[in-house]
């Protein structure tokens, strides 16, 4: 096991929704808070090589969470930005970390890297068996390229980089911006605003048939830190719950938990996104003992409560 006690750790995206939880988990696992560095985009642009080089100087471990990311709307509006930003951030950071002698690099990828039609539950070995779902392919392919980079740097240079594939995350402090949020925060905000304005209809993209899997942010953070300490192999690893939830059920459950008694109107002219998503989570359990523990309904309640308290 990698002892974190005296390690200098760089956490890109460490001030974000997932990053805050990862930092807490690192401290719980023995890392010293004063040795954790969180670069901020205003003075560290990871799309620039010299900024990456400066960020990794004297670091022992890099956990790369930073991403330019959003829901279907943002992916359709800015595919070029999502491809370029994510590829450049990751590729240059990995290269700089290798050059400066970083001991361990944990890269967090994306479920969007999987092919559009992947047998459910998704197994890591199916990652290359087809093209990703078109609406988020540029983002997914940019992040998937980092897996190839880490595997090739391991093969040629002996660089210890690992690659993790978390499913859709949710939890308190998520991104609730309607222009870039994912499905759970987007629905919570829509219901909240419908209630506030006395509306009796809730408009939701698609037809409700697609399925997703959701991982609570504290579970995801625990999985990332466990992998950083215990996993040292080239193969990618899924992080999830192995539980499939339809968008229809999700929307109905959020309405129920928020006591919204209006009608859900499905906007079937809007895209559904990938038809099904559910991960095979056996590798994470076998390799480093990770199992998600948060009950889905409780996780949603926590997220709703946080939003209600911070909506303004």
- Which residues touch 81 (CB under 8 Å, ≥6 apart)? 68
Q: Which residues are annotated as a binding site?
A: 13-19, 143, 166-169, 182, 190, 205, 212
Residue where the block lists tokens 């099904």: 276
Q: Within 10 A of 81 (CB to CB), how many other CB atoms are there?
A: 13
Q: Is the pLDDT of residue 145 over 90?
A: yes
Q: Is residue 109 part of a domain?
A: yes
Query: Would 23 be classed as within a structural domain?
Result: yes
On whether residue 249 sits in a domain, the answer given is: no
Arithmetic mean of pLDDT, 295-308: 97
Q: Cα–Cα distance between 187 and 199 in angstroms, integer? A: 14
CA 274 to chain centre: 16
Residue 134's domain comprises 9-171+213-243+276-293
Of 68, 58, 161, 171, nearest to 110 (Cα)? 68
Q: Is residue 264 part of a domain?
A: no
Percent of the chain with pLDDT over 90: 88
- 63: part of which helix (H) or strand (E)? strand 61-64
pTM (2 decimals)? 0.93
In the DSSP assignment, the letter for residue 198 is T
In a domain, 198, yes or no: no
- pLDDT confidence bin for 72, thresholds 50/70/90: confident
CA distances in angstroms from 210 to 126, 230, 245, 250, listed in the order given: 20, 34, 8, 11
Domain membership flag for residue 167: yes
How many folded domains does the chain comprise?
1
Catalytic residue annotation: 139
Query: What is the domain-level CATH number for residue 92?
Result: 3.40.50.720
Q: What is the pLDDT of residue 70?
A: 73
Whole-number percent of the chain with pLDDT over 70: 100
| Residue 301 within a domain | no
SS3 category, 188? helix
Round to whole Å and give the CA distance between 39 and 33: 14
Residue 13, domain member (yes or no): yes
Render pLDDT for 9-59 as a digit per residue (tens, 0 to 9).
999 999 999 999 999 999 999 999 999 999 998 899 999 999 999 999 999
Which tokens belong to 311? Answer: 């909506």
180 has a pLDDT exceeding 80: no
Would you place residue 73 in the very low, low, confident or very high pLDDT band (cuts 50, 70, 90)? confident
User: What is the pLDDT at residue 275?
Assistant: 85
Confidence (pLDDT) at 273: 81
How far apart CA 20 and CA 228 sit, in angstroms, is: 16
pLDDT at 217: 97
Length of the chain, in residues? 312
SS (H, E, C) 48-89: CHHHHHHHHCCCCEEEECCCCCCCHHHHHHCHHHHHHHHHHH
Q: How far apart are CA 211 and CA 30, in angstroms?
A: 37
**pLDDT tens digits along 248-269:** 999 999 999 999 999 999 999 9
User: Binding site for NADP(+), residues?
Assistant: 13-19, 143, 166-169, 182
Annotated binding site for substrate: 190, 205, 212
DSSP 8-class letter at 133: P
Neighbours of 227 (CB within 10 A): 24
Residue corresponding to tokens 């994510």: 86
Confidence check: pLDDT of 194 > 80: yes
Distance CA 221, CA 218 (A): 5
């Amino acid at each position: 096991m990698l002892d974190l006690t005296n390690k200098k750790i760089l956490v890109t995206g460490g001030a974000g929704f997932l990053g805050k939880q990862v930092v807490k988990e690192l401290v719980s696992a023995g890392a010293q808070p004063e040795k954790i560095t969180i670069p901020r985009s205003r003075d560290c642009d990871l799309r620039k090589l010299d900024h990456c080089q400066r960020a990794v100087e004297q670091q022992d471990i890099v956990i790369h969470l930073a991403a330019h990311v959003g829901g279907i709307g943002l992916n359709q509006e800015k595919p070029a930005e999502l491809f370029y930003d994510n590829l450049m951030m990751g590729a240059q950071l990995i290269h700089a970390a290798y050059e400066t002698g970083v001991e361990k690099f944990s890269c967090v990828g994306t479920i969007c890297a999987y092919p559009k039609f992947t047998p459910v539950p998704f197994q890591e070995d199916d990652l290359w068996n087809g093209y990703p779902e078109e609406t988020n392919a540029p983002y997914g392919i940019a992040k998937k390229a980092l897996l190839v980079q880490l595997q090739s740097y391991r093969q040629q240079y002996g660089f210890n980089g690992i690659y993790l594939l978390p499913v859709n995350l949710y939890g308190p402090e998520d991104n609730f911006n309607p222009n870039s949020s994912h499905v759970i925060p987007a629905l919570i905000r829509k219901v909240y605003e419908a209630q506030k304005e006395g509306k009796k209809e809730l408009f939701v993209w698609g037809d409700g048939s697609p399925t997703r899997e959701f991982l609570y942010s504290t579970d995801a953070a625990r999985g990332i830190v466990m992998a950083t300490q215990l996993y040292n192999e080239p193969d990618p690893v899924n992080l999830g719950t192995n539980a499939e939830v339809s968008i229809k059920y999700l929307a109905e459950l959020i309405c129920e938990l928020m006591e919204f008694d209006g009608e859900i109107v499905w906007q079937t002219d809007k895209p559904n996104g990938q038809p099904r998503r559910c991960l095979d989570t056996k590798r994470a359990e076998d390799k480093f003992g990770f199992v998600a523990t948060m009950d889905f309904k409780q996780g949603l309640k926590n997220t709703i409560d946080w939003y209600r308290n911070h909506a303004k």
